[in-house]
Amino acid sequence: MTEEKSKFNLTQFEQRLTLLSDGPVGAAVSGGSDSIAMLLLLANWCAKNGRALHVATVNHNLRADAAIEARFVANVCAKLGIPHETLVWPGWDQRGNLQEAARNARKTLLSDWAKQNELGSVAIGHTKDDQAETILMRMLRGSGVDGISGIYPIENGDGFVWLRPLLDYERQELRAYLTSKNQDWIDDPSNQETRFDRVKLRRILHDITEAGFSTHGMITTAENMKRARHFLENALANHAQDICEVTDAGSILIHKEKLCVAEPEMRFRLIAHCLKRISGNIYPPRLHALELVDAQVLLGESTALHGCLIRQASDDRVEISREPNAMPSQHGIKELFDNAWEINAVDQIGDVVVAPVGENGISQIADWRDLGLSRYALMATPAIWRKEELIAAPIAGMCNGYTCRLTWGYHEFLTSILTH
């Protein structure tokens, strides 16, 4: 059956695809109706436009049927002649919330897969229904402008873009499309489990439409919020340029008086951005936690949040620095340390551990004061250790054949304020 006969309107889908980056296209396909519909539509479009398509399914190893679902997607891909890979999550470390951990793991696995295959874009199958659920959930949780602006059609990934080409479509029309193509999909049984908030909200939204209301107004609200968010982020970028400084130790100094007279919305945004940047966390802190930190900053008190310290550095500066206790320690110097520091050695010395300078390290460095950087910020810079022995702390002035570079700076701090 041709696209015309199936009466599926491709206009908005094709419009979204104009946002694709160069390079092969990736698609994250779970086997559910939304992503299977996306797979068929993308396969057609890529064939017509001479673009390579790669597909991946994440097996979270949480349900017995997960492997069957991954095989189902692999079979659909085999019939279409598209390469497919199953990415397996080794499992949950029992920390935090399982749903959240699974979502984060999925993002990381897909991101690594995208990098390995040099994909320019990875398409995910969020729909208009997902958008309405997200907005309602965030409203109930007390989100601000950013949260209510909902899901975006495009987002920056690590060297590629995440694209949501189905954001203008309803699940029902995608299912009708699949039926018209005689294409099956798999209904995830956890979508029936009423203990999950998402499932509860899906039912509430169903009742809202049954009662004769349209959820379209919620989508319009999100569009209005997106505009407001863009405006606020621009204002913040200008303000941050005026009052912030990034130090060589990876801390941020903020002009206290100018911070205190700024609008609360501006203060929350600035503190949140600093915390997100310094901690390397992909999510900003919760609004309620920010309000508490903001109140302490106004009172001139020091505090901690999101793996960072917020201190009154001097009469006129507030300093936000990484909290050494929240930093990892790692064997060897190959990887980026704490997602922020690139370390190199003139001669590789085996069997070393990279960990923050900390109290122990700073007490062994005689002339750190000459650097003009705060003790707290220096304690959160990388040090090279062999057991208890401090070998090097390059940012704190003890090099011993090692160099250390912060992978972000003032420019990146400012440009990353504009999220979309």
Ligand X SMILES: Nc1ncnc2c1ncn2[C@@H]1O[C@H](COP(=O)(O)OP(=O)(O)OP(=O)(O)O)[C@@H](O)[C@H]1O
Q: Which residue has the tokens 């994250």?
A: 28
Q: What are phi and psi of 194, to 5 degrees?
A: -70, -5
Tell me if 134 contacts ligand X by CB under 6 A.
Answer: no
Q: Is 34 annotated as a binding residue?
A: yes
- Contact flag: residue 188 with ligand X (CB under 6 A): yes
Q: Which of 20, 25, 29, 145 binds ligand X (CB under 6 A)?
A: 29
From 118-126, 143-151, 301-309, 365-373, give the range in contact with ligand X by CB under 6 A: 118-126
Q: How many residues bind ligand X (CB under 6 A)?
A: 15
251 is in an annotated binding site: no
- The position carrying tokens 């504009």 is 418
54 vs 269, which CB is nearer to ligand X? 54
Please tell me whether residue 76 binds ligand X under the rule CB under 6 A: no
* Cα gap 395→250, rounded to integer Å: 10
Out of 24, 125, 147, 361, the only residue in the binding site for ligand X (CB under 6 A) is 125
For residue 38, give the amino acid letter.
M
CA distance 361 to 388: 10
- Residue whose CB is less far from ligand X, 32 or 382: 32
Asked if 17 and 45 count as a contact pair (C-beta separation under 8 A), the reply is yes
Is 32 labeled as ligand-binding? Answer: yes
Q: 25, 74, 124, 135: which one contacts ligand X (CB under 6 A)?
A: 124
Q: Cβ contacts of residue 168 below 8 Å, gap of 6+?
A: 12, 13, 16, 128
Q: Which is nearer to ligand X, 134 or 381 (CB)?
A: 134
Selected range binding ligand X among 29-37, 76-84, 208-216, 243-251, rule: CB under 6 A: 29-37
**What is the Cα–Cα distance from 380 to 250, expressed in whole angstroms?**
8
For the record, the structure tokens of 171 come out as: 């699940």
33 in a labelled binding site: yes
**C-beta nearest to ligand X: residue:** 32
The answer to whether 367 is a known ligand-binding residue is no
What DSSP string describes 29-74? Answer: --SSHHHHHHHHHHHHHHHHHT--EEEEEEE-S-STTHHHHHHHHH
Per rule CB under 6 A, is residue 279 in the interface with ligand X? no
Q: Are the CB atoms for 336 and 366 separated by under 8 Å?
A: no
Q: Which of 8, 16, 34, 252 binds ligand X (CB under 6 A)?
A: 34
* Binders in 283-342 for ligand X, by CB under 6 A: none
